Amino acid sequence: MKKSNKPVLLSGISPSGNLTIGNYIGALKNWVKMQKEYDCLFVLVDMHAITVRQEPQALRSRCLSFIAQYLACGIDPKKSTLFVQSHVKAHTELTWILGCYTYMGELNRMTQFKDKSKKHPTNINAGLYVYPVLMAADILLYQTDIVPIGDDQRQHLEITRDIAIRFNNLYGKAFKIPEPYFPKIGARIMSLLEPAHKMDKSDNNADNYIALLDEPPTIINKIRAAVTDSGTEIKMSEVKPGISNLIAIYSALSEKSLQEIEEAYIDKNYMTFKKNLGEMIVEKLRPIQDEYQRLMKNKDYIYKILKQGAQEATRRAEETLKRVYEKVGFILP
């Protein structure tokens, strides 16, 4: 049983599409770093993924692949609890309760719901609508202090806080009020070909993103083809979203400041910058890809970790759920 005085950190990724460098920079990379200071729970949110149609066999193998990628990026199961959402039943149970304390007006405002409804007009289902409530349950079940996320999840964190505050005000303290954590650089990595949109792991056009498992030549080609702006300067600027995005990627992955990069490329052209960036990404991803291949040959190890993670997460989640059941007035069995 893990007992720790460290603040609790929880974050999750939905197993849809392909994990991208956007997910890595916005979330995973920070998870790995924060493992030392925080009592971490990392969850693969498979129940969130089925709000969009999934092919069952593909979903199953993607779940395993995503977990292997978490591990390959440096999530250490000795330090952190790694688990799959559907393995811990308290997530759906708390979702129902929280749903009764969430207003439709609040859910109507969610931009992700609006975006996904537009993208899947024939499948605007109730699950998609209550998605933020499930996410609130993920977070609130573990008395979470901090949630490292990219900018696109800001609104979901706000509604989580609002639901928790509302519930606590009605019944006395049941939940910790979580704080978001956004990376300073790279909270919103943009698409390579359409830099006005975020890089999206479910994008139909794979040229819009670099997947963590992309082969080196693919990475080099995608960066070479990335949209840059008119002009020649390698400089961050609101009117140069393409090159600014590439500089941000460079900075986040190399840990060099934006200014350092601008200075290093002051008299160089886009082609040289893109060539170096492509090569740098290849080198950053190489150890992750090697470790991924090794892990995928040992699936029993992955299943063992998930089993331990589910047991630990269940134990912790049940404590909160019991408290919530008592507060709303259910007779406990």
Binding site for ligand TYM (CB under 6 A): 10-14, 22-23, 25-27, 45, 48, 135, 138-139, 147, 149-150, 152-153, 156, 186-189, 198-199
| Whole-number Cα distances in Å, 3 to 40, 79, 142, 315, 316 | 12, 12, 13, 12, 10
- The Cα 53–Cα 57 span in angstroms is 12
- To ligand TYM, the closest distance from the beta carbon of 13 in angstroms equals 4
- Give the residue with the Cβ less far from ligand TYM, 10 or 40: 10
* Vertex 14 angle, CA 9 and 17, to 5°: 145
Count CB atoms within 10 A of the CB of residue 12: 21
- The Cα 75–Cα 254 span in angstroms is 19
CB 168 within 8 Å of CB 160: no
- Give the residue with the Cβ less far from ligand TYM, 186 or 278: 186
Which alpha helices (DSSP H) does 104-215 contain, by range?
A: 104-108, 111-119, 126-140, 154-171
- Give the residue with the Cβ less far from ligand TYM, 191 or 228: 191
- The Cα 173–Cα 165 span in angstroms is 9
- To ligand TYM, the closest distance from the beta carbon of 103 in angstroms equals 20
- The Cα 1–Cα 58 span in angstroms is 34
- Take residue 124 and report the two structure tokens written for it: 């605007």
- Give the residue with the Cβ less far from ligand TYM, 25 or 82: 25
- The Cα 195–Cα 232 span in angstroms is 17
- To ligand TYM, the closest distance from the beta carbon of 253 in angstroms equals 13
- Take residue 149 and report the two structure tokens written for it: 């996320």
Catalytic residues: 116, 198, 201
- The Cα 197–Cα 20 span in angstroms is 14
CB 29 within 8 Å of CB 281: no
- To ligand TYM, the closest distance from the beta carbon of 119 in angstroms equals 13
- Give the residue with the Cβ less far from ligand TYM, 194 or 233: 194
| Angle subtended by helix axes 299-328 and 56-73, to nearest 10 | 100
- Give the residue with the Cβ less far from ligand TYM, 80 or 153: 153
- To ligand TYM, the closest distance from the beta carbon of 332 in angstroms equals 27
Please classify residue 114 by burial: count the beta carbons closer than 10 Å to its beta carbon, then call 0-12 exposed, 13-18 middle and 19+ buried.
exposed
- To ligand TYM, the closest distance from the beta carbon of 298 in angstroms equals 25
